Amino acid sequence: MIRGRGVELKNREQLRLMRQAGLVVAEVHAAVLAAAAPGVTTGELDQVARDVLARRGAGSSFLNYGAEWGQTPYPGVTCISVNEEVVHGIPGSRRLESGDLVSVDFGAYVDGWHGDAAITFGVGELAEADALLSEVTRDALWAGIGAARLNGRLGDISHAIEASVRAAPGRYGILADYTGHGIGSAMHQPPDVPNTGRAGRGLRLAEGLVLAVEPMVTRGSSIGVTLDDDWTVVTSDGSRAAHWEHTITMTRGGLWVLTSADGGEAELAARGLPFGPLAD
Ligand code: MF3
Ligand code: CO
């Protein structure tokens, strides 16, 4: 069912397929995290993701993305962004080193229905300030998720993300010009889900709406610069960045984090938020 500004509302069967895609995404993140170590290349991590996709019979949401619009087709199944790279880093021959701050963004589809999520982690010994940056970004993601409720507004999510980052001790930049998004029968759909905004404004949150919530936070500039490879976005001041993302939906029972292995149950419980999966 499609309603209002091209927003796609999913039925129960479609949500179940998106959960299947989300479970593949969670499995890939776990496998990539387990394989990441000093000396491993980002291309090798991309191959780990390809192996999971093949094993599960799922498709890549990222591979060749952009080709239909005449953009340089995206060449990987993951985006791996290291240190001052914020998002859309292309996996390749780069070898990870101890102290690197790495984000892995990954999307998969099952029967045409997509899931999209990103994690950030350190390789070997991570500087305290980088670990904090990742924590601040992850907290902002869960603050955004926790602000989503049926009959609430899109701006509630955006505001909660921004307020969470601003409340953290230290000065952080929220990457401008990049947002979360609706997701379903395509990876990117309306509405945009900005990482800054005002509560009580914007689209009313309805049953069947599925959103990718994804704060991108830096230890400095909020300006991103795209490199000559047409994809990699780095911070304009060379400061390090983190990116956390989940695909979520709201049910009458509460929240369902489609790209989390446990559906978000543990993290939601820890934050006093209602967990509302659909029955199988
Ligand atoms: N997963 C990214 C997002 O969250 C998009 C990846 S761009 C691609 O919006 F080209 F790799 F697909
Ligand atoms: Co996304």
Please name the helix (run of DSSP H) or strand (run of DSSP E) that holds residue 177, with its range, or none. Answer: none
Is the CB of 7 within 6 Å of ligand 1?
no
Task: Please identify, by atom number, the ligand 1 atom nearest to the C-alpha of residue 178.
Answer: 9
Number of domains the chain contains: 1
In a domain, 275, yes or no: no
- Please state at what angle helix 154-167 crosses helix 128-146, rounded to 10 degrees: 150
**Phi, psi at 152, each rounded to 5°:** -80, -170
Is the CB of 74 within 6 Å of ligand 1?
yes
In a 10 Å sphere around its CB, with 0-12 CB exposed, 13-18 middle and 19+ buried, how is residue 170 labelled? exposed
Does position 82 have pLDDT exceeding 60, yes or no? yes
Alpha-carbon distance of 96 to 41, in angstroms, equals 6
In a domain, 121, yes or no: yes
191 cis-preceded (ω within 30 degrees of 0): yes
Look at residues 236, 141, 259, 231 and name the one whose alpha carbon lies nearest to residue 193.
141
Model-wide pTM > 0.95: yes
Q: What is the mean pLDDT of residues 174-183?
A: 98
What pLDDT score does 3 carry? 47
Is the CB of 275 within 6 Å of ligand 1?
no
Q: What is the mean pLDDT of residues 72-95?
A: 98
Does position 1 have pLDDT exceeding 90, yes or no? no
37: its two tokens: 């170590």
pLDDT > 90 in the chain, percent: 97
Q: What is the mean pLDDT of residues 213-228?
A: 98
Is the CB of 107 within 6 Å of ligand 1?
yes
Q: How many CA atoms lie within 13 A of 227 on its CB side?
A: 15
In a domain, 279, yes or no: no
- Confidence category of residue 26, pLDDT binned at 50, 70, 90: very high
11: its two tokens: 């039925």
Domain of 264 in residue numbering reads as 2-270
Is the CB of 139 within 6 Å of ligand 1?
no
Alpha-carbon distance of 131 to 92, in angstroms, equals 24
Alpha-carbon distance of 211 to 191, in angstroms, equals 8
Start-to-end Cα distance in the chain: 21
Instruction: Out of 88, 213, 246, give the residue to mutate to test ligand 1, the one with the largest number of ligand atoms within 8 Å of its CB.
Output: 88
Task: Please identify, by atom number, the ligand 1 atom nearest to the C-alpha of residue 107.
Answer: 1
In a domain, 183, yes or no: yes
In a 10 Å sphere around its CB, with 0-12 CB exposed, 13-18 middle and 19+ buried, how is residue 71 labelled? exposed
Is the CB of 46 within 6 Å of ligand 1?
no
In a domain, 278, yes or no: no
Ligand 1: distance of its center to the CA of 183 in Å? 11
Does position 4 have pLDDT exceeding 70, yes or no? no
- Confidence category of residue 2, pLDDT binned at 50, 70, 90: very low
Is the CB of 79 within 6 Å of ligand 1?
yes
Point out which residues pair with 233 in neighbouring strands: 87, 226
In a domain, 277, yes or no: no
What pLDDT score does 279 carry? 84
Does position 280 have pLDDT exceeding 80, yes or no? no
Going by the DSSP 8-state scheme, the letter that residue 90 receives in this structure is: P
In a domain, 276, yes or no: no
CATH code at position 120: 3.90.230.10
- Confidence category of residue 5, pLDDT binned at 50, 70, 90: low
Is the CB of 246 within 6 Å of ligand 1?
no
Look at residues 138, 220, 128 and name the one whose alpha carbon lies nearest to residue 171.
220
Instruction: Out of 105, 210, 213, give the residue to mutate to test ligand 1, the one with the largest number of ligand atoms within 8 Å of its CB.
Output: 105
- Residue type at 142 in one-letter notation: W
Q: What is the mean pLDDT of residues 231-246?
A: 98
Going by the DSSP 8-state scheme, the letter that residue 148 receives in this structure is: -
Does position 136 have pLDDT exceeding 50, yes or no? yes
Q: What is the mean pLDDT of residues 35-48?
A: 99
Look at residues 243, 19, 221, 254 and name the one whose alpha carbon lies nearest to residue 140.
243
Q: What is the mean pLDDT of residues 101-115?
A: 98
Ligand 2: distance of its center to the CA of 120 in Å? 14
Q: What is the mean pLDDT of residues 2-26?
A: 90
Alpha-carbon distance of 213 to 22, in angstroms, equals 14
In a domain, 76, yes or no: yes
Q: What is the mean pLDDT of residues 240-265?
A: 98
Task: Please identify, by atom number, the ligand 1 atom nearest to the C-alpha of residue 212.
Answer: 4
Alpha-carbon distance of 18 to 183, in angstroms, equals 9
Mean pLDDT of the chain: 97
122: its two tokens: 């350190």
Ligand 2: distance of its center to the CA of 117 in Å? 6
